[in-house]
Structure 1
C-alpha cells in the first residue's frame, strides 16, 4: 500500500471527524425505541467487502469503592449529549439524578431518559481524569463493529497508540460521548490514508479510527447509525403541565348539589365564623327508628326517677331548647322520618 498518500492535517474542523457513516441516508446520530429508550438502528451496506468503522476507545472508570473498570466508549459528533447504559451505572454503583429530558432519534422515535449521572474517565495509560455528565438509557447501540473486521495492515496507522487496540472486534458500548464533551477531548492531528482505509484522529486518550474501509470479509456488513437529541422545550412544557391545576373539573350530581348549597347558604357572623347549611341526602330509608327511640326515652326516664337532681336538670335543659327555638313539638310526623334517641350524659347511677 502506497504510504505517500498519507497526510497529516492540523485543521480541527476537518469534516471527516464526523465519526459516522456518511454513505447512510440518516443523519449522524442514535435512534431510540420508546418505551425502552433503546438507541439503535441499522441498515445494510450493499457493497461486498465494505465496512464503516466508528471511533471507539477503551477507558477506565472507578466505582464507589475505588475499583477500576474498563469501559468501551463511542465518540459521536451527531449526538447532542452524552449517554451511559443503565448496566454500566449499576456496575460502577453511580448515583443517579432525576431528569425529565426527552430523547428523540431516527424516525422521530422518542423516549425518556432514566436519569443523569456523573463520572470520571481515565486513559488506559495515564492518571489524568476527565469529568463527564451523561444521561442514563437502558441500551445505547448494538455491539460495534457489527462484525469482526478482517483487513490487511494499514501502513499510515502503524506505530500509533490506539485508544481502542481491539477496534476490529465486536463489543458492547458502555458510553457515548456526544458533541457536548467530545470536542474538548479531540486534538488537532488527523492522519488520512489511501481511499477505503480508516482515518486516524488524535484524542487525549490516544488515536481513534473511523471511516469507510475495504475488508477481506465479503459478507454483508451492517453499520449502526446513532442519533440523540434532547427535546428540552417539550420536557419543560410537560413539567409545567404536571404542576398546573386542571382547567376544567367535572362534578358528580351530589358534588354539584353540595357546591350550590355552599354558594347559596354560607355566611360569616359577627364573630368572624363561617356558617353553612349541612347537605342532606334525599329519599334515604333508615328503617323504623320511632319504636327504638321511644324505648330508649322510657328507659332513661326510669333511671332519672332515681335521681331527682339530674331529672330536674335534664327537664330544664329540654325547656331551654324549646324556649330558644332549637326544637318544637312534632305533630303528624310521617313514620319514614328518623328519630334520634336522647340520653342524659351527666346521669350517674345512684350508690346503694
Structure 2
C-alpha cells in the first residue's frame, strides 16, 4: 500500500530535480548528464502518477490532507513541466557552445555527448510539393520558417532536409533530378525552386483563376459549406501575402462567395442582413464569414444528431412516463466558473434549478416572480415587455416560461391517471439574449429525455508560444459558444506575453460580470509535429474554468483507439489555460466524425488532432460547465457617450483660494488712467527672506552682460525693449540706498528670443521663481488663487451659439496693472537691476 510519506518524497525529488543538477557544477553539467536526468525525471513522474491513483482509491486516506487540499497533483505537474523545460533549455545552450567550439576542437567531450544523442533531436517535417504553383506559397513560407530562417542548423539536419527537398513530386522533382546529393548542395536546390516558381504575376493569375472557377456547393452540408468558405479564405490570404489589396475587395468577394452557396443558405443570409440596423449598407466579407461559420456549426450539429439517432433507435421509443420522471437539467453554457445566486432561495444556482421554486404550484411561481420583479419569460431582472429573448413556452408557444404554463382543464392531453402526457421530443428551453454587437447567445436547456453520465468537454493539448520564441504545452478548452478567446494570467506570466490595455466586460447567464483589462497575442500549434500554426488574440483573465474531467478507463471506447487525439490525457485532471472561441473552432475543424455508443464521446477531426466531447458513462458529480462571452452592455455604452459630452465640474475653492479672493476684493482699485492697482497676495504664514535677493539678481545681470558681449545685436534689441517699458510706465527707476537693500526684493531678468515673431523678437522676462541663497523664491510666498479661466468645453459650446464671432488678442494685458509699493513693513519696489548703458 502506498504511503503518503512516500508520495511526498517523490514530490520533493521532482521539484528539486534541476536544482540538484545545477549543484554538479558547470564542468559536470554535460549533455549526457542532462539527458540521463531527464529520463530519471520521467521515471519519477510515472511513479508519482501511479502513487496518486493508489491514494485516490484508498478510502483510509484523510480527504482533508494537505496533499488534496492544495491540489498537489497540479503543483507537481507544473514542477515536472518546468524542470523538463529547463533541461531542454540547457541542451540548447550546450548545442550553441558546441557550434562555437567545434571549429577549434574536434575532440570536445560535450560534442561527443551531443553526437551520441543526436538521434533524439526533433525531426523537421516539410510538406509535399507536387509542382502546383497554387501550393507554392504555402510550401515556400513553411520551408523558409522552419529551415531557411532557422539559425545554426546542424549539418546532419541539412543533409536530411536536402533529401526531403528532393522528395518533391511532379514537375518540381524533375527540376532537382540533376542536382547531386549532399547538404552542400542544399542552397543550390532551393535557389532552383525559387527561380522557377517564385513568379508573383503568375501566382496571382493562378489564384484568381482558382477563385473564379471554384465549384459551388453540391448540397446543403457542413463539409460543402466549409469547402467553399475555407477555399475562398485561403485564396484571399495567399493573394494578400502576394501584395494584393484584398481588404478593399469586400463587394466582389461577398458577391462571388454568395453565388457559391446553396439557395437555402442565401435566403438565410438575406434574412440576417435585413435584421441589421442599416440593411441597405453593403456587408463586408468578414460579416459573411461569421454568418457562414455559424451556419456550418448548425449544420454539423444537425448532422451529428441524425447520425446519433440512426445508431440509437431505442431513444425514439423510450417510455414517455420514464422520460418525464427522470428529467434532468444539463447546463451547456454558463457565464463563468462561479454559479449564480438564486433570487428565490439565495443558493448558488439559477431559478430553473431551484427545488423550492419547482415545488410551488404555477400560481405560486407567478406570485414569486412578481415579488422578485423577475421576467415571466426568461426569469431575468427586467419586465416582460423589455425581454429580448426569442424563447417561448413549449406547451402553448406563448410569451412565458414553460414552468409557469397553466394548462386548461378541458385540455384532452391527460391520460387516465390524470397526468399530462409528455412527448419524448418535448424540451424545455431557456435562452437569454443581449442585444449588443459584442454579445454571444448563452443558452441553458432542460431535456425531458434522461441523459445519464458525465459530460466531457472538448479539450486539446497545444503548444503555446510567444513572439520571442518561448514555448510551453498547455490544455485548451474548445468552446463553440464563446465569441472571444481567453488565456489565464499565469500563462501570460510564463510566456512573458506583451499585453495591450483593453477594458472588455465578460458576462453570460445570470448577468455575472467580470472585466478583462488586457489583450495578448500568441501562436498555437498541436502538441504533435505539424506544419499547422495559428496566431491567436485573446483576452486575459485570472482563471478560466474549474472544469475537471471524470473518466475511469478510456480504453473501453474502441472507436477512438489508434487516433491522434488532440488531448491524449483528456481523462486526467489539469488546469485549463486557454479557451478557444467559435472563430478558432471554425478554423481548426476538419471533415471527419467518429461516434461510439450511447454513453461514449464523439471524436471530431481537427488540425489539433481528434477532439473528444459528449457524454461518458460516469456518475454525475454536479460539476459546473463553463463558457465565457463578451458582453458590451448597452447602458454602459450610453453612459460613456453622455460622460464624454458632459462638461467638467468646477472644483470647490480651497481656504487659500477664498483668502486670495478676499485679498483681491479688498486691495484692488481702478486708477484714473484706467489701470488697476493691485497688491501682491503674500502668504501671511510664510515671511520671505529678502536679504539675499540682490546678490542673485546681480549674478544674473552679469551673465546677461557676458551674453551681450558675444552678441551685440541682442544688446541693442534688449535695450530697446527695456526703454520701451520705461517710457510706457511699466517700470520706473528707483534710488535705493545700500542700507535699505534688505527691505527690497530684486527680480532677476533675462532675454527670451523668438525668431518667428513678427512684432517682438526679443523681450525681457522677470524670473520670480528664482531661488535666493536660502532656497526661497517670491512665487512660493504668494498665493496662487483659484483658476479663473472658463472651461475649454464651455468656451467651445458658447462659441457655437453665434453665427459670427471675432478673435483678437488683448495687447499687453499683463502690463495694465500697477503694484502697491508697501507690503507690511517692507517696501518692495519691483525694479530692474541694470547697468547705466542699458
TM category, shorter = 0.5 to 0.7
Residue aligned with 1:181, SS: helix
Task: Give the equivalent residue in structure 1 for 2:582.
Answer: 179
1:339 to 795, 805, 825: 825
Whether the 8 Å CA contact 2:337–2:545 is kept in 1: the answer is no
Whether the 8 Å CA contact 2:547–2:624 is kept in 1: the answer is no
Task: Give the equivalent residue in structure 2 for 1:297.
Answer: none
Residue deviations 1:69-98 (CA, integer Å, cap 9, x gap):
112111011211000011111111211111
Q: Is 2:415 aligned against 1:129?
A: no
1:28 to 295, 319, 333: 333
Structure 1 residues 96 and 236: alpha-carbon distance in aligned structure 2, compared to 1, 3 A threshold: farther
Structure 1 residues 16 and 257: alpha-carbon distance in aligned structure 2, compared to 1, 3 A threshold: farther
Residue aligned with 1:133, SS: strand
Residue aligned with 1:126, SS: coil
2:649 to 248, 253, 276: 248
Task: Give the equivalent residue in structure 2 for 1:220.
Answer: 621
Structure 1 residue 173, shift from structure 2 partner? 0.5
1:139 to 543, 549, 552: 543
RMSD over aligned CA atoms reads 4.9
Task: Give the equivalent residue in structure 1 for 2:425.
Answer: none
Structure 2 Cα separation of the partners of residues 184 and 137 of structure 1: 23
Structure 1 residue 109, shift from structure 2 partner? 2.0
Task: Give the equivalent residue in structure 2 for 1:36.
Answer: none
Residue aligned with 1:202, SS: strand
Structure 1 residues 281 and 243: alpha-carbon distance in aligned structure 2, compared to 1, 3 A threshold: farther
Structure 1 Cα separation of the partners of residues 641 and 506 of structure 2: 18
State the number of aligned residues: 280
Structure 1 residue 26, shift from structure 2 partner? 4.5
1:86 to 466, 489, 510: 489
Q: Is 2:500 aligned against 1:195?
A: no
Structure 1 residues 286 and 181: alpha-carbon distance in aligned structure 2, compared to 1, 3 A threshold: closer
Structure 1 residues 219 and 26: alpha-carbon distance in aligned structure 2, compared to 1, 3 A threshold: closer
Structure 1 residue 56, shift from structure 2 partner? 0.4
Structure 1 residues 235 and 242: alpha-carbon distance in aligned structure 2, compared to 1, 3 A threshold: same
Residue aligned with 1:224, SS: coil
Structure 1 residue 276, shift from structure 2 partner? 8.7
Whether the 8 Å CA contact 1:29–1:76 is kept in 2: the answer is no
Whether the 8 Å CA contact 1:100–1:235 is kept in 2: the answer is no
**TM-score, normalised to structure 1's length?**
0.62
Structure 2 Cα separation of the partners of residues 225 and 197 of structure 1: 21
Structure 1 residues 178 and 259: alpha-carbon distance in aligned structure 2, compared to 1, 3 A threshold: farther
Structure 1 residue 233, shift from structure 2 partner? 5.6
Structure 1 residue 182, shift from structure 2 partner? 2.0
Structure 2 Cα separation of the partners of residues 184 and 50 of structure 1: 30
Task: Give the equivalent residue in structure 1 for 2:232.
Answer: none
Structure 2 Cα separation of the partners of residues 17 and 346 of structure 1: 94
Task: Give the equivalent residue in structure 2 for 1:95.
Answer: 498
Task: Give the equivalent residue in structure 1 for 2:465.
Answer: 62
Task: Give the equivalent residue in structure 2 for 1:153.
Answer: 556
Task: Give the equivalent residue in structure 2 for 1:206.
Answer: 609
Task: Give the equivalent residue in structure 1 for 2:150.
Answer: none
Residue aligned with 2:476, SS: strand
Whether the 8 Å CA contact 2:551–2:616 is kept in 1: the answer is no
Residue aligned with 1:90, SS: helix
Structure 1 Cα separation of the partners of residues 545 and 490 of structure 2: 13
Higher strand share: 1
Structure 1 Cα separation of the partners of residues 466 and 334 of structure 2: 29
Structure 1 residues 165 and 285: alpha-carbon distance in aligned structure 2, compared to 1, 3 A threshold: closer
Whether the 8 Å CA contact 2:601–2:615 is kept in 1: the answer is yes
Residue aligned with 1:95, SS: coil
Structure 2 Cα separation of the partners of residues 152 and 192 of structure 1: 15
Residue deviations 1:171-222 (CA, integer Å, cap 9, x gap):
110100012322121123233333222111111111101112212xx47352
Deviates more, 1:192-201 or 1:130-139: 192-201
Q: Is 2:454 aligned against 1:51?
A: yes
Higher helix share: 2
Structure 1 residues 66 and 326: alpha-carbon distance in aligned structure 2, compared to 1, 3 A threshold: closer
Whether the 8 Å CA contact 1:71–1:174 is kept in 2: the answer is yes
Structure 2 Cα separation of the partners of residues 98 and 29 of structure 1: 26
Residue aligned with 2:587, SS: coil
Whether the 8 Å CA contact 2:522–2:537 is kept in 1: the answer is yes
**TM-score, normalised to structure 2's length?**
0.28
